[in-house]
Structure 1
Amino acid sequence: MAEDKILKADSNEMELVDFRIYKQGMNKVYEGIYGVNVAKVKEIIKIPALTELPGVPEYIEGVFDLRGVVIPVINLAKWMNIIEPKDMVLKPRIIIAEFSNIMIGFIVHEAKRIRRINASAIRGSDFSTNTGGFDKSQITGIAKIENDEVLLILDLERIVEELGIYSPKIDIEEKEIKKMTGTAVVVDDSSTARKLVHDALAKMGFKVIEAKDGVDGLNKMNELYALYDKDIASQVKVIISDVEMPQMDGFHFAAKLKEDGRFKGIPIIFNSSLSNEFSAVKSKDVGGDAFLTKFDANVFYKEVSKIIESYINK
């Protein structure tokens, strides 16, 4: 899953591993088409022997050791409350993905291919397409593919949050959090991630504006400019942006802001579950002031304070 796949972010394209989950209906089996970003996928393997864990949610099938790393395994069909086919011969695989430096395995019924889809063709989570009865909040985007079929991008960060990975112990005490004033903008397609960042920024004293992708983020920035005019850089103190998003990814969003004289004086911090050096390098290329891996609250507070102060002191 190499460097060139990640660096193609400048084409606003997203490369996805296309996988399938089949659902047992009344009289037939339905095929669900899903995707996960290639940049997060480490490998795809057959299901090994798993060690069950007591007292965990039903969708956690167990753990296994992969070259010295203990990996929890999530059954995506169970997580989505999908009834698996009774008589169909499946080709199950585990997609091993990395989120915030943590490896997690996801059981899928079949791994098909790699697709390259332009982010502008991916609609956000406010779609009306029938998703087969499961919770639409589990989805961050939808793209039309061949034969009028649709591919759904799951909000796997919700699973990461449910496992507690995005809820670390905060070593810094509330009184040690540097207080700020003004507005902060959070751009992220995951409602789970937005809430985490929103809450952290609110503790710092910011009024927080949320956007669900890069296009929405640009719209929100234009609305803020209409409100603050030339004072926008003194009112909007920081923008926190995800990288992977439908319609417009975080790199394109940042590049457009930095090219716009109205907004180039506002710091942009990337906050992503991608944890690789290529994304960090790319973030600098497009004008990002920092690249953080979700979600270490202690690092977040310190970096946000430091970068805002550096802009104030320029």
Structure 2
Amino acid sequence: MSSLLDDVDRRTQMVGQNRLELLLFTLGTRQLFAINVFKVREVITCPALSRLPSAHPIIRGVATLRGKTVSVVDLAQALSMSPVGSGERGSFVILTEFNRSVQGLLVASVDRIINLNWDQIRPPPRGTHKDSFLTAVTQVDDRLVEIIDVEKVLEMVTGPARDVSDALVSSSRGGGRVRCALVADDSTVARKQIVRALTQIGVESVVVNDGRQALDKLLEMAAQGPIEQQIGMVISDIEMPEMDGYTLSAAIRKEPALSGLYVVLHSSLSGTFNETLVRRAGADRFLPKFSPDELAEAVLGHLQMGDDAK
């Protein structure tokens, strides 16, 4: 299975093409679920797991993988489904890296990797018991695929993000650019985290759910007057339905009324390759999720400068 993940270099060529690859898997039913391949380090047969009596209920145990102790989360339990059969033949652990941490995701079976356009990804339908843990959906071979909001799953285990430090809050001041940021992110958890951090340093937020909404909103604002008089920067996720953050950055640079905007791509994806990809897409900075202080420092560092200091 790990051989499916050997060609990361090829996947980086999709930057600016509004494409993504998804790893499809099941959780004990016929329903297909998915996560972005860029979050995946390896897929292995479920090893023996050591129980932790005081751990969160969705933690099925820990395992030593590649010399590192890793917590293994039962995704089915996180979604209020029947637990994946521990140690049953055919169960797998998807070893993931996002939000600056490594964790295993226990799944019943792994299907395949698919390559899609982001415009084939749609917001999740509301009203199902799992909708709060879905970030998007798509169709594959006439089957619905539910894309998991793994950031929300991780928050169940780690708890809410901490606040911006008092020192940074006290150092925030007026002056410089407009103290307003457009925030684009399809994760409800991420949006709340970012808005909370911005509010704590006195920065207003214009919030949208994906790159397409972000571009439409920016063009709408630009039609009303100079964009730099309305917002001071854009903070965008990379993985989003309709239009990803790379494509949004490239579109901003191509629009004369928007081209001067400062764009931060703020992603749970590993930062090992993103710095280069961010520059190729036309963004100004990559910031891994989620450190309230790092986000606050990046925002204040830009907004508190004069326009001639960019």
TM-score (norm 2): 0.89
- The whole-number CA distance in structure 1 between the counterparts of 2:293 and 2:96 is 24
Which residue is equivalent to 1:187?
A: 184
Which residue is equivalent to 1:27?
A: none
- Cα distance, 1:310 vs structure 2: 4.9
Instruction: Verify the 8 A CA contact 1:7 1:279 in the aligned structure 2.
Output: no
Structure 2 gaps, min length 5: none
* SS of residue paired to 1:313: helix
* SS of residue paired to 2:199: helix
Matches within 5 A, 1:115-194: 115-125=114-124, 127=125, 133-146=128-141, 148-164=142-158, 167-168=161-162, 170-173=164-167, 175-180=169-174, 181-194=178-191
Change (3 A) 1:52 1:95: same
Matches within 5 A, 1:1-314: 1=5, 2-23=8-29, 31-83=30-82, 91-125=90-124, 127=125, 133-146=128-141, 148-164=142-158, 167-168=161-162, 170-173=164-167, 175-180=169-174, 181-227=178-224, 229-230=225-226, 232-310=227-305, 312-314=307-309
Aligned sequence identity (%)? 28
- Cα distance, 1:206 vs structure 2: 1.9
- Give, as a single letter, the amino acid of the residue that structure 2 aligns with 1:135: K
**Greater Cα shift, 176-185 or 200-209:** 176-185
* SS of residue paired to 1:276: coil
- Cα distance, 1:165 vs structure 2: 7.2
- The whole-number CA distance in structure 2 between the counterparts of 1:209 and 1:196 is 14
Instruction: Verify the 8 A CA contact 1:90 1:110 in the aligned structure 2.
Output: no
Aligned-residue RMSD, C-alpha: 2.1
- The whole-number CA distance in structure 1 between the counterparts of 2:17 and 2:58 is 36
Instruction: Verify the 8 A CA contact 1:166 1:294 in the aligned structure 2.
Output: no
Instruction: Verify the 8 A CA contact 1:6 1:279 in the aligned structure 2.
Output: no
Structure 1 gaps, min length 5: 24-30
- Give structure 1 regions of 4+ aligned residues with deviation exceeding 4 angstroms: 168-172
Deviations along 1:3-51, whole A, 9 cap, x unmatched? 221331222111011111224xxxxxxx110111111100001111212
Change (3 A) 1:289 1:64: same
- The whole-number CA distance in structure 2 between the counterparts of 1:307 and 1:21 is 44
- The whole-number CA distance in structure 1 between the counterparts of 2:84 and 2:169 is 54
- Cα distance, 1:179 vs structure 2: 3.2
Aligned length in residues: 298
- The whole-number CA distance in structure 1 between the counterparts of 2:265 and 2:41 is 22
**Greater Cα shift, 170-179 or 262-271:** 170-179
Which residue is equivalent to 1:26?
A: none
Deviations along 1:211-234, whole A, 9 cap, x unmatched? 11111111221232244x12x213
TM-score (norm 1): 0.88
